[in-house]
Amino acid sequence: MEPTLTWLDLTASDRDKMRRVLDLFTEQGTVDEMGLGSLTQLIADDLFPGTSVIQTRLRYVLFVPWLYQSLERKRVTSADVGKAARSAEIGLIESLVRSEDTAGVIGARARGGLTRLPSEVYWPALVHWQFFQHAQNKSWYQRHFSSLVRGGAEMGRADDPGIVWARKPNWHPRLPKPPESFPGEANFALTYDEADFVRGRITERCPGTLLGWLAQEGSSSPAAAFWEDPDVARVPSALAATVELARRFSLHVEGAPLLYNLLLAVRRHAEHGDDEELIESYQAQMAQWAAKEEKEAPFDSGALWAYVARRGGRTPAPQIRFVEAWSRRIGEVGPARAVDDAALRALVEQREIQLKGNRARLANAARLLEWSGSVGVGRNGFRWHRVRQILTDLHRGLES
């Protein structure tokens, strides 16, 4: 039976936090099988604030406000705005799939059955980059839609009746106007004015971050990995330290999920006599990882914990113990011997059991059979595969 998730009595804020956790599982190259997702999310948030692993194309940060501004002009009520907004966003799908560039159209397959609307995907960016002028989620906006549209002088705050909100625009006053043909016609190509506005929002709201730097100094051809991008090589020293920490951490822990998948292949071969090719494949991948890791200085886990503390993050004790045990043993035996090291194999197996209990693949024969042959492998890019497209869209607009 497949596991299910049921919403009980959660606030909108609780649901947003839970969705962000679930979104981690959609990113290629995660290390969540070893329970390191909170670390990678903290680094990604620090480097690329407002982004997520399910964002696709940059012009959605304009599409969503344009659709809601249209509903505001129509004076849709709070009771009806949810349904009206959904209808508008589903209609946008049809416009986008008729354009020449359909890569990244949210809902291209699901159409009317889409459950995660673009507005939900991009709302964190709209708030963080202050396209939306209230530091609130979409549910709050829809609940107060009528009052916000009426333009009263002030309104009570939903979660604290003793505090009132001063009246201000819902959307940034300099938000570019949509094309006259929108939403009947839509595409992902930003005009220069649109791209310039978006760049201004990012650089103003994300100072000192890699996203802010690359919005200003980057190009329409970002490198495959951000630590290899020539524009990143010019960042200020404080930001360079964060980039280097991310690069080094990403490489150092890449071996853990590779070893985990190797153990799964070995275990299933022992029990069912298959997966010999997978065993050889993961051994080869471990050797490639070891060759890279051996060229590096020993990983400084203390620098990682200090970084997390400076950012106000919380690191669970089991997570700290796992990373430090992995680093310490790699330092003792060397990366090349990690593939056959009994202590590292035991560490990875114990970590999975600690995280999953009786659903751990290495402890549950049924779960082992369900293994697809690859899970959680690949070097973590901290959302770069998404941010790279966002930056490409931005700078192509600036070049137009």
Tens of pLDDT, residue by residue over 91-103, are: 999 999 999 999 9
> Can you give the pLDDT at residue 275?
85
The total number of structural domains that make up the chain: 2
Note whether residue 199 is domain-resident: yes
65 and 212 both lie in a single domain: yes
Question: Position 90: which residue type?
Answer: I
pLDDT the model gives residue 150: 85
Say if residue 205 is in the same domain as residue 296: no
Cα–Cα distance, 229 to 233 (Å, whole number): 7
With a cut of 50, list the residues of the chain below it in pLDDT. 1-31, 152-158
3-state secondary structure of 36: coil
Helix 384-399 / helix 210-217 crossing angle, nearest 10 deg:
30
| The predicted structure's pLDDT at residue 152 | 43
Give a yes or no: residue 250 inside a domain: yes
Instruction: Write the CA distances from 212 to 160, 201, 227, 314, integer angstroms.
Output: 34, 9, 15, 25
- 219 with 100, same domain: the answer is yes
Q: What is the pLDDT of residue 295?
A: 98
Query: Which residues contact residue 288 at a Cβ distance below 8 angstroms, ignoring those fewer than 6 apart?
Result: none
| Statement to judge: residues 246 and 101 lie in one domain | no
Within a domain: 14: no
Residues 32 and 177 in one domain: no
Using CA atoms in the order 251, 252, 258, 264, what is the torsion angle rounded to 10 degrees?
A: -160
Looking at the structure, tell me whether residues 135 and 86 fall in a common domain.
yes
Token pair in block for residue 126: 């709209």
Q: Is residue 18 part of a domain?
A: no
Do 362 and 249 belong to one domain? yes
Looking at residue 159, its amino acid is: D
- Asked if the structure places residue 6 within a domain, the reply is no
**Pair (82, 221) in one structural domain:** yes
Sole residue written with tokens 């907004």 = 85
Provide the residue range defining the domain that includes 170. 60-234+386-399
Residue at token pair 């060759």: 291
Query: Does residue 175 fall inside a structural domain?
Result: yes
Domain for residue 4, yes or no? Answer: no
Please list the residues that pair with 154 across neighbouring strands. Answer: 166
Amino acid in position 303 = A
Q: Are residues 83 and 163 in the same domain?
A: yes
- Give 395's DSSP letter: H
* Helical segments of 186-236, H only: 192-205, 210-217
Residue 166 is predicted with a pLDDT of 53
Question: Do 193 and 322 reside in the same domain of the chain?
Answer: no
At residue 117's C-alpha, the angle toward residues 115 and 122, to 5°, is 140
Q: Are residues 106 and 246 in the same domain?
A: no
Residues 148, 37 within the same domain:
no
The angle, 0 to 180 degrees and rounded to 10, between the axes of the packed helices 60-73 and 78-97 is 140
pTM of the full structure: 0.88
Would residue 334 count as lying in a domain? yes
